[in-house]
């Protein structure tokens, strides 16, 4: 695919302004103030929460906090905490990483959602808010999602959110002493306007009944 990029300029890097939605707040990590709440949320899950991440599970609070200080406050990745408005406490994280501002490319990764947040309306809105920042606010051209090829929940989530599968990089990484073949997905800027409309329709109050159940699935609206 060719396009005239004669007027292209490097994009800004993701900043520190929080993102506000109807059901969730997504806040870039700048200090340790959410770490205790994250530990309390993650401690409610079983060890499977950490299976496909490069760290965890953790024996205790101290081990988790040591990792959080090292990883979540790293200088080369912009971590975000996900704070559902129903609880007012951080219950998950996601990072914008491998950001290439010159070419307008970034990736969402290190996704870790506590049991109360997983598969929730708030989680979907958090993913939407990050997409809207990447495409609408920062003007990036490409947004990536990568996961272990055996991580079926992550692959299903990528598909549901509108990422397109691009293939598998074989023997891409060694994670926790095992081989990882990596499945690659992406969204590009020309796909974003239609996807944005689908998210807005899915998140609209009238798409949910009194019990909070969706009336139409996101895939239908896409």
* pTM for the structure as a whole: 0.96
pLDDT, tens digit, 9 for 90 and up, residues 58-86 = 999 999 999 999 999 988 899 999 999 99
Tokens 């979907």: give the residue: 124
Distance CA(131)–CA(104), nearest Å, equals 13
Of 3-17, 59-73, 163-177, 198-212, which range is least confident?
A: 3-17
- Residue 3, pLDDT above cutoff 80: no
Provide, rounded to the nearest whole percent, the portion of the chain with pLDDT above 90.
95
For residue 203, the model assigns a pLDDT of 98
For residue 166, the model assigns a pLDDT of 98
For residue 76, the model assigns a pLDDT of 83
Distance CA(160)–CA(158), nearest Å, equals 6
Decide if 32 contacts 73 (C-beta within 8 A): yes
Averaged pLDDT of the chain? 96
Peptide bond between residue 57 and the one before it cis (omega within 30 degrees of 0): yes
Decide if 158 contacts 185 (C-beta within 8 A): yes
Q: Which residues pair with 93 in a beta bridge?
A: 81, 112
pLDDT, tens digit, 9 for 90 and up, residues 10-66 = 999 998 999 999 999 999 999 999 999 999 999 999 999 999 999 999 999 999 999
Decide if 109 contacts 127 (C-beta within 8 A): no
Tokens 């912009």: give the residue: 78
Distance CA(214)–CA(139), nearest Å, equals 30
């Amino acid at each position: 695919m060719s396009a005239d990029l004669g007027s292209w300029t490097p994009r800004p890097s993701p900043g520190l302004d929080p993102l506000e939605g109807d059901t969730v707040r997504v806040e870039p990590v700048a200090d340790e103030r959410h770490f205790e709440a994250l530990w309390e949320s993650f401690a409610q899950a079983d060890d499977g929460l950490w299976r496909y991440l490069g760290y965890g599970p953790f024996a205790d609070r101290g081990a988790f906090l040591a990792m959080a200080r090292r990883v979540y406050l790293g200088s080369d990745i912009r971590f975000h905490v996900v704070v559902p408005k129903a609880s007012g406490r951080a219950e998950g994280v996601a990072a914008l990483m491998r950001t290439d501002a010159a070419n307008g490319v970034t990736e969402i990764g290190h996704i870790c959602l506590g049991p109360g947040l997983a598969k929730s309306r708030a989680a979907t809105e958090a993913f939407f808010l990050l997409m809207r920042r990447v495409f609408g606010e920062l003007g990036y051209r490409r947004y990536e999602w990568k996961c272990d090829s055996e991580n079926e929940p992550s692959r299903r989530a990528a598909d549901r959110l509108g990422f397109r599968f691009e293939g598998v990089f074989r023997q891409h990484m060694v994670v926790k002493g095992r081989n990882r073949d990596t499945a690659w997905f992406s969204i590009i800027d020309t796909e974003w306007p239609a996807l944005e409309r689908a998210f807005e329709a899915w998140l609209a109050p009238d798409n949910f009944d009194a019990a909070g159940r969706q009336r139409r699935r996101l895939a239908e609206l896409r």
